[in-house]
Amino acid sequence: MKQDITLSLSFLAGLLSFFSPCVLPLIPSYISFITGLSLKELTTFSNKKKTQLTIIAHSIAFILGFSIIFIGLGISTSIIGNLLFVYQDYLRIIGGFLVIIFGLFIAGIVRLDFLMGIKKLNIEKKPVGYLGSFIVGIAFSAGWSPCIGPILGTILIYASTQGSSLYGFKLLTAYSLGLAIPFFLSSIGINIFLVHSKRIFKHMRLITLISGIILIIFGILLLTDKVRVISTLFPNISF
C-alpha cells in the first residue's frame, strides 16, 4: 500500500508540473513547434484527419523523449541510493530538508536565486521528423526551471532513499504519466485547451501555493520517516 500511495503522489507531482507556470502557458508553443503547424492550422483543422494524426504522432515522440530521461534519472538515482544504503537515514533527513526548502520556494515564501533561471537546450530550429520531436522532448526534460525542477527533485530524492532501481523506475514512470497525459489530451484537443487554460491562468498563484504546501508536507513526512502515514489517511487509494 505504501508503494501504491507514493506512486499516486508521483503521478500527482507530474500533474502539478504540467500545471506549473513554466509549462502550461507554453503548451501551444510546444505543440506548434514539434508539429511544424501554425496555431491557426492547429485550431482550424483544414485537413482534420491529417492534422490530428500529425499532432498525435509528434506528441507521442515528444512524450517518449522527456519520459526516457525522467525514468533514467529515477533508475540512476535509486542505484546511487542503493550504493549508499548504509547512509540512507542521512539521505532521508537531508532529502526531507531539501524538499521542505523546495516547497517553500514553490509557494513563494523563500527566494532561491540559483533556481530562478531556466537552463535548457536551445533548439532554434527543430530537427526534421518524429526523431526531431523526440529530441525536443529530451531537451525539455533537460530544462531546470523554477517550476518543474523542485517537484521533479522531490521525486528523485525520495527514489534515492528507497535504494531500488525498480522502484525508481516505477516512481518516475508514474511522474512521466502525470505530465504526459494532460499534455497529450491538450495536444489533441488544442481548441478546448486554449479556451480553458485562460481560466486556469487566473488561478496560477493558488496552484503554485498548493503545490508548495504539498511539497512541504511531504518533506516533513520524509524528514520524520512518516511517509507511511499517508496510506492510513487514504486507505482505498491505489495506483
Q: What pLDDT is recorded for position 192?
A: 75
**Residue 135 — very low, low, confident or very high, per pLDDT cuts 50/70/90?**
confident
* pLDDT tens string 27-59: 887 888 888 777 677 766 556 777 788 889 999
Is 204 exposed, middle or buried (CB count within 10 Å of its CB: 0-12, 13-18, 19+)? middle
Give per-residue pLDDT as tens, 6-30: 788 899 889 988 887 667 777 887 8
At 179-222, the pLDDT tens digits run 999 999 988 887 777 766 667 767 777 877 887 888 888 888 87
Q: Give dist(CA 1, CA 37) in Å, integer.
A: 45
Bigger pLDDT: 121 vs 42:
42
Mean pLDDT, residues 92-104: 81
Domain boundaries, the chain: 2-232
Q: What is the pLDDT of residues 56-83, one digit of tens each?
A: 999 999 999 999 989 998 898 888 777 7
Q: Which three cell numbers stand for residue 61?
A: 515522440
Q: Are 106 and 215 in contact (CB under 8 A)?
A: yes
Phi and psi torsions of 222, nearest 5°: -70, -40
Own/partner contacts of 18-22, CB < 8 Å, gap of 24 or more, are: 18/178, 18/179, 18/182, 18/183, 19/182, 19/200, 19/207, 20/145, 20/147, 20/148, 20/151, 20/207, 20/208, 20/211, 21/147, 21/204, 21/208, 22/118, 22/145, 22/146, 22/147, 22/148
pLDDT at position 129: 78
Backbone angles phi, psi at 119, to 5 degrees: -100, 125
Task: Say if residues 183 and 18 touch (Cβ distance below 8 Å).
Answer: yes
Q: Is the pLDDT of residue 239 over 70?
A: no
pLDDT exceeds cutoff 50 at 236: no
Residue 1 has what pLDDT?
44
pLDDT tens-digit map of 165-176: 888 899 999 999
Q: How many CA atoms lie within 13 A of 38 on its CB side?
A: 4
Res 61: pLDDT = 93
Closest CA to 98 of 171, 172, 149: 149
Q: How far apart are CA 82 and CA 79, in angstroms?
A: 5
| pTM for the predicted model, two decimal places | 0.75
Residue type, 67: S
Grid cell, residue 59, equals 506528441
The C-alpha cell that represents 186 in the structure block: 491538450
Whole-angstrom distance, CA of residue 206 vs CA of residue 204: 5
Quick one: cell of 71? 525514468
CA 147/CA 208 separation, integer angstroms? 8
160, three cell numbers:
534515492
Its sign, for the CA torsion 99, 100, 102, 107, is positive
pLDDT in tens, 141-165: 766 555 677 788 888 888 888 778 8
